[in-house]
Structure 1
Amino acid sequence: MSLASIVSRTFEVPWVKRMMMPVAQWYANAAGYRQMGLRYDDLIPEESDVVQQALKRLPPKEAYDRIYRIRRAVQDIRYLRPLIEEIERERQEREDLDSLVIKR
Structure 2
Amino acid sequence: MFGPLSISLAPLVQNSKALSKWVTPLANWYADAARYRQYGFKYDDLVMEENPTVQRALGRLTPRETYDRAFRMKRASQASVLHAPIPKDQWTTPAEDVRYLTPHIANVVEENAERVKWDTVIVVKKN
TM interval, short-chain normalised? 0.5 to 0.7
The structure with higher relative contact order (CA 8 Å, sep 6+) is 2
Quick one: which of 73, 76, 90 aligns to 1:73? 76
Q: Where does structure 1 differ by over 3 angstroms across 4 or more consecutive aligned residues?
A: none
Q: CA deviation at 1:51?
A: 0.6
Quick one: which of 44, 56, 64 aligns to 1:41? 44
2:6 is equivalent to residue 16 of structure 1: no
Q: How many residues align?
A: 78
Structure whose alpha-carbon radius of gyration is higher: 1
Tell me which residue corresponds to 2:62.
59
Structure with the larger helix share: 1
Deviation per CA, 1:60-99: give whole Å up to 9, x if none.
11101001101111111236xxxxxxxxxxxxxxxxxxxx
2:8 is equivalent to residue 5 of structure 1: yes
Deviation per CA, 1:24-76: give whole Å up to 9, x if none.
11111111111111000000000111111111111011101001101111111
Contact 2:13 2:23 in 1 (8 A): no
Q: CA deviation at 1:6?
A: 3.0
Secondary structure of 1:57's aligned partner: coil
TM-score (norm 1): 0.66
% identical aligned pairs: 44
Gaps of 5+ in 2: 85-127
Gaps of 5+ in 1: 80-104
Give the root-mean-square deviation of aligned CA atoms.
1.8
TM-score (norm 2): 0.55
Secondary structure of 1:45's aligned partner: coil
